[in-house]
């Protein structure tokens, strides 16, 4: 299984990129392939309908779409800005949402955050969940937010607090189990979606394509 592990910060010394590196190690340790990236790998202009009409999708946005499409699961480690999702992260979501087939649709997705604050950027993840779920991403119920992130890492990149490290590993493991089941066992996939009234072949799903 291939998992895109995307940091929502391209800043040197980013705590979210450090968290993403740790997550990628856990993904690899679980036997999956971690494809690591930061948003800095995909420099794209602010979304503008005229730019899209005149020039089409920016190459970096297309590159991000391809990386999402190539992965069976997506993990995003995003900062929180002003109690919400950073503009650059939302801008990338907006560009990607213009592509058909829409890459977030049905994508198993886990959200994580890191912040020097006491809440670890968790409010930003609730804000990020909204557009992703609107687009049909299967956003995992549990999220992981690392508080006081500037002093949370040990020298080897692991989490200094053993209990937090165990919780992160358990969250990643459970998410990968679900993503693997959803990817491999189509009967489970159909039952789950139909239970939610979101049959994969029904017109109702087109809301994520319009």
Smallest separation (angstroms) from ligand FNR to the CB of 199:
38
> DSSP class of residue 159?
B
In this complex, which beta carbon is closest to ligand FNR, that of residue 13 or of residue 163? Answer: 13
Q: How far apart (Å, rounded) are the C-alpha atoms in residues 89 and 107?
A: 17
In this complex, which beta carbon is closest to ligand FNR, that of residue 124 or of residue 136? Answer: 124
Smallest separation (angstroms) from ligand FNR to the CB of 43:
16
Query: Among residues 41, 32, 29, which one has the least CA distance to residue 66?
Result: 41
Ramachandran sector of residue 179 (left: φ over 0; alpha: ψ -120 to 50; beta: rest): alpha
Q: Supply the DSSP string of 68-110, one letter for each residue.
A: HHH-SEEEEE---BTTB--HHHHHHHHHHTTSSS-TTTT-EEE
Smallest separation (angstroms) from ligand FNR to the CB of 20:
9
Q: State how beta strands 108-114 and 144-146 pair.
A: parallel
In this complex, which beta carbon is closest to ligand FNR, that of residue 83 or of residue 202? Answer: 83
In this complex, which beta carbon is closest to ligand FNR, that of residue 79 or of residue 103? Answer: 79
Smallest separation (angstroms) from ligand FNR to the CB of 6:
12
Interface residues toward ligand FNR, by CB under 6 A: 9, 11, 14-16, 79-83, 115-117, 121
């Amino acid at each position: 299984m291939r998992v895109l592990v995307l940091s929502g910060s391209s800043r040197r010394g980013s705590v979210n990129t450090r968290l993403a590196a740790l997550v990628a190690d856990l993904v690899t340790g679980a036997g999956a392939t971690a494809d690591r990236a930061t948003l800095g790998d995909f420099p794209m202009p602010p979304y503008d309908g005229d730019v899209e009409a005149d020039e089409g999708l920016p190459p970096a946005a297309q590159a991000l779409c391809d990386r999402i499409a190539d992965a069976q699961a997506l993990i995003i480690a995003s900062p929180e800005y002003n109690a919400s999702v950073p503009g650059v992260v939302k801008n990338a979501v907006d560009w990607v949402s213009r592509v058909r087939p829409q890459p977030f649709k049905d994508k198993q997705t886990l959200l994580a955050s890191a912040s020097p604050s006491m809440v670890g950027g968790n409010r930003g993840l609730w804000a990020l969940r909204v557009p992703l779920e609107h687009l049909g991403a299967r956003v995992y119920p549990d999220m992981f937010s690392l508080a006081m992130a500037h002093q949370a890492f040990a020298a080897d990149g692991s989490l200094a607090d053993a209990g937090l490290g165990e919780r992160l590993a358990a969250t990643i493991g459970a998410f990968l189990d679900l993503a693997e089941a959803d990817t491999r066992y189509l009967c489970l996939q159909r039952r789950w979606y139909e239970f939610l009234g979101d049959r994969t072949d029904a017109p109702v799903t087109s809301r994520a394509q319009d």
